[in-house]
Chain A
Amino acid sequence: MSSLFVIRGNDQGLRFELELPVVSLGRDLSSTIQLHDTEVSRQHAEIRRTGDRYAIVDLRSSNGTFVNGRKMGGDVAEQYELFSGDQIQLGGTLMLFTGPTEETPEDIASTINIGQPLEGERSNIIRSMAQEEGSRFFEIGPNATQDPWLNRARSNLQVMYRTALAVSHTLDIGQLLDRIMDLIFEWVEADRGCVMLINPATKVLEPKVRRTRTGVESEDRITISKTILDFVTERNEGVLTSDARQDERWDSAASIVRAGIREAICVPMRGRYDMVGMIYIDTSISPQKRISSNDSEKFTEDHLKLMIAIAHQAALAVEDTRYYSAMVQAEKLAAIGQTITTLSHHIKNILQGIRGGSYLIELGLSDNDQSVVRRAWKILEKNQNKISSFVMDMLTFSKEREPDLKPAEINAIVDDAVELMQTRGSELKVQLRWQPDKSIPKLVFDPDGIGRAVLNVLTNAIDAAAEENESGGGQVGIRTEFTEKATRVIVEDNGPGIAPESIDGIFSPFVSSKKGRGTGLGLPVSRKILNEHDGQILVSSEPGGGAKFTLELPTVLACSDSQANDDSQDG
């Protein structure tokens, strides 16, 4: 199934499957793919499928349709065949086309057998070889042949192989270009080099990396003639230039250098799409060398070929990096969008509650009815607590926190949580049963953090029990357990239970199964807090059988002297 993925624009992050034989794109509601972009025409373009091939047609749109940066002609009859990786731009919206895969996974599976060898068949492994050994093929060792052509071919292969290796492990453009320069200087006797990239926004060539060979007298600026740059851009060809520069003055060493010849190579970096930049290298030959050596050229046609090949690889890598970061960015934005949607949904509900409370207060005050005012106040308080819980959870979740360790009584902390939840429990007709292990001594942990962790798990348990036992009978049992190694708070409910495949999901933020009531942050936050203590949360549950959450902390006893000093603060 082919698809379009929006990587830039108002609909960023959306993916459209191209199912129909004709898919229309435009601003109109009737379009198969409706784009929310004022620069897109109402009926902007169409993608037509014949068999396995897809083609795009521009429907005389006002701003045009661009494929890989090139504007399609205005002729409605002009079709452009689409291939995987093509970028389509309509107005301000940029989309990536992914074509159908040639074989579906099922087809491939049916043509290959992985299994037991047949009767009588035994294939012996003759030789095995690791990657490092294999790639030594490229090295020109003592076994190198005398054939210069073969040596050169091998050397060039090595160049290509190492360039590809260098660029494949890098996602950072700066690092990538540095590596390219390293390789170039290794293979070519250049004195100076520079990589320029076209700024995608301004379309201007900007130098990104500049290198000078050590020991070379460097002038401050590398001046590249605009004529050469234009030539390279327009003709998409690499150039090798030689520039004899005469200087009458011979007084200083610098002048001698300047009096030499400068050879330069300038090659375009063009990948799949447009030109992404240029690589320039140069070298200077001093007059003495020129006189003393027969071969006055440092840069040969071979060097030019090599540079063109390297530049092509580098361009592909740069494109990949940019495409990859555009994809990552688009996915990040899509995820952020989802998060914002979920967050605003919860905030809207809380806001509705506050409006309800405020309205009731108005009514109560104007009627001089105290009971109404009291009820209204309760609603406001509840929603206030909801907001504060919500904000606390978000903060806890997002920050790297060091737990605030203190000596504290775990039973007291759990006791507080249970008391806080009593009202909710009775409202939802859920009975809370709290059985502390009285033998637990003072331990060291973050009382606010653990308190919050317990509260979130307890809230979930009460809601689950209420959901399953709507007319009453909901039960939640809380108890503590102490061992030398670990201390546990166990919360059990008689709710609907959790399917084993969903257990991991409940700790994912913003995924709430509570039909819009929970924030989805409670359990992830609890888990984070326990992890910060080097502890964990264990879940044991079966659909229909309730759930049991165990919050486990490593037992850290409060030492007696610190106990004496900090005792006064804790309640």
Chain B
Amino acid sequence: MQSVLIVDRSEETREVFSTALARRGLRAILASHPQSGMRIARALRPDLVVLDVESDNLDSEEIYSHFTRESVINKTPLLLLGTIRRNAEKIPGREIIDKPYHYGPLVRRIEELLNRDCCVVSHDD
């Protein structure tokens, strides 16, 4: 079963993701702080990471650049929720989603990123 790590300070958000992903047959790993999130990511190696960023926080630059580095090294897709710098570089495998977002399209996007093979036309179905 594929796993998704959700790092978000809001308990509500974690609850919604956990319920939605479980329904889709995905395992949701929850973390409330980026520090614990990073430790968990390194230990459990999820297939995708969703990270909530607060743009006004000076620490957040450091945080998301750490996560970006790990995502590139491990080739793990990273979804950032919120806004970062205006001139953020485009990095493959990293997507930025503005807040407030709608859960429906976001969950679908998570599935798309995880099932990259399904985007290639398969003759088995």
A550 to B104, CA, bound (A): 47
In this complex, the member of A357, A363, A367 whose beta carbon has the largest number of chain B beta carbons within 10 angstroms is A363
Which stretch, B16-24, B42-50, B66-74, B112-120, touches the partner chain A? B16-24
Q: Does A382 contact B (CB under 8 A)?
A: yes
Q: Does A375 contact B (CB under 8 A)?
A: yes
A324-358 residues with Cβ-Cβ distance < 8 A to B are 345, 348-349, 351-353, 355-357
Contact of A359 with B20 at beta-carbon distance under 8 Å, contacts A348-B99, A352-B101 already known: yes
A355 touches B103 (CB 8 A): yes
Q: B44 to chain A: closest CB distance in Å? A: 21
Q: A471 to chain B: closest CB distance in Å? A: 12
With a cutoff of 8 Å between Cβ atoms, the chain A residues found around residue B23 in the complex are 363, 367
B104 touches A359 (CB 8 A): yes
A379 to B9, CA, bound (A): 15
Q: Does A360 contact B (CB under 8 A)?
A: yes
Interface mask (A16-58 → B, CB under 8 Å = 1, otherwise 0): 0000000000000100000000000000000000000000000
Q: Does B95 contact A (CB under 8 A)?
A: no
In this complex, the member of B9, B12, B19, B56 whose beta carbon has the largest number of chain A beta carbons within 10 angstroms is B12
Choice from A29, A348, A357, A372 contacting B12 with Cβ under 8 Å? A357
Q: Does A169 contact B (CB under 8 A)?
A: no
Contact of A516 with B19 at beta-carbon distance under 8 Å, contacts A352-B100, A353-B12 already known: no
In this complex, the member of B99, B100, B102 whose beta carbon has the largest number of chain A beta carbons within 10 angstroms is B100
Using CB atoms, name the residue of chain B closest to A375. Answer: B15
With a cutoff of 8 Å between Cβ atoms, the chain B residues found around residue A359 in the complex are 16, 20, 102-104
Interface mask (B65-92 → A, CB under 8 Å = 1, otherwise 0): 0000000000000000000000100000
Q: B105 to chain A: closest CB distance in Å? A: 11
Q: B35 to chain A: closest CB distance in Å? A: 12
Q: Does B2 contact A (CB under 8 A)?
A: no
In this complex, the member of B102, B103, B104 whose beta carbon has the largest number of chain A beta carbons within 10 angstroms is B103
Q: Does A515 contact B (CB under 8 A)?
A: yes
With a cutoff of 8 Å between Cβ atoms, the chain B residues found around residue A516 in the complex are 9, 54, 56-57
Q: B92 to chain A: closest CB distance in Å? A: 23
A356 touches B13 (CB 8 A): yes
Chain A interface residue number, banded? 20 to 34
A29 touches B87 (CB 8 A): yes
With a cutoff of 8 Å between Cβ atoms, the chain A residues found around residue B15 in the complex are 356, 360, 375, 379
Contact of A379 with B12 at beta-carbon distance under 8 Å, contacts A355-B103, A515-B57, A516-B54 already known: yes
Using CB atoms, name the residue of chain A closest to B13. Answer: A356
Q: A424 to chain B: closest CB distance in Å? A: 11
A360 to B17, CA, bound (A): 9
A351 touches B100 (CB 8 A): yes
A352 touches B99 (CB 8 A): yes
Using CB atoms, name the residue of chain A closest to B11. Answer: A427
A355 touches B19 (CB 8 A): no
Choice from A29, A349, A355, A515 contacting B102 with Cβ under 8 Å? A355
A348 to B99, CA, bound (A): 7
With a cutoff of 8 Å between Cβ atoms, the chain A residues found around residue B103 in the complex are 355-356, 359
A559 to B102, CA, bound (A): 57
A352 touches B10 (CB 8 A): yes
Interface mask (A77-105 → B, CB under 8 Å = 1, otherwise 0): 00000000000000000000000000000
With a cutoff of 8 Å between Cβ atoms, the chain A residues found around residue B12 in the complex are 353, 356-357, 379, 382-383
B99 touches A360 (CB 8 A): no
Choice from B20, B54, B57, B102 contacting A363 with Cβ under 8 Å? B20
With a cutoff of 8 Å between Cβ atoms, the chain B residues found around residue A379 in the complex are 12, 15-16
With a cutoff of 8 Å between Cβ atoms, the chain B residues found around residue A382 in the complex are 12
A356 touches B16 (CB 8 A): yes
A348 to B54, CA, bound (A): 12
A211 to B46, CA, bound (A): 83
With a cutoff of 8 Å between Cβ atoms, the chain A residues found around residue B19 in the complex are 360, 363, 372, 375
A357 to B10, CA, bound (A): 13
A229 to B46, CA, bound (A): 81
A355 touches B100 (CB 8 A): yes
Contact of A360 with B16 at beta-carbon distance under 8 Å, contacts A29-B87, A367-B23 already known: yes
A367 to B99, CA, bound (A): 27
Q: A355 to chain B: closest CB distance in Å? A: 6
With a cutoff of 8 Å between Cβ atoms, the chain A residues found around residue B87 in the complex are 29
In this complex, the member of A352, A360, A427, A516 whose beta carbon has the largest number of chain B beta carbons within 10 angstroms is A352
A372 to B20, CA, bound (A): 10
Q: B106 to chain A: closest CB distance in Å? A: 9
Choice from A348, A360, A363, A372 contacting B100 with Cβ under 8 Å? A348
Using CB atoms, name the residue of chain B closest to A350. Answer: B100
A124 to B69, CA, bound (A): 75
A378 to B57, CA, bound (A): 29
Using CB atoms, name the residue of chain B closest to A379. Answer: B12
B13 touches A352 (CB 8 A): yes
Q: A341 to chain B: closest CB distance in Å? A: 9
With a cutoff of 8 Å between Cβ atoms, the chain B residues found around residue A427 in the complex are 11
**23 residue pairs A–B, Cβ–Cβ below 8 Å:** A348-B99, A349-B10, A352-B99, A352-B100, A352-B101, A353-B13, A355-B103, A356-B12, A356-B13, A356-B16, A356-B103, A357-B12, A357-B16, A359-B104, A360-B16, A367-B23, A372-B19, A382-B12, A427-B11, A515-B54, A515-B57, A516-B54, A516-B57
Q: Which 10 A-B residue pairings sit nearest by Cβ, starting from the closest?
A: A359-B103, A356-B16, A352-B100, A351-B100, A379-B12, A353-B12, A356-B12, A348-B100, A360-B16, A516-B54
B contact residues vs A (CB 8 Å cutoff): 9-13, 15-16, 19-20, 23, 54, 56-57, 87, 99-104
Beyond the given A352-B99, A359-B102, could you list 12 further A-B residue pairs with CB under 8 A, ordered by the A residue number? Answer: A356-B15, A357-B16, A359-B20, A359-B104, A360-B15, A360-B16, A360-B19, A363-B23, A375-B19, A382-B12, A515-B54, A516-B57
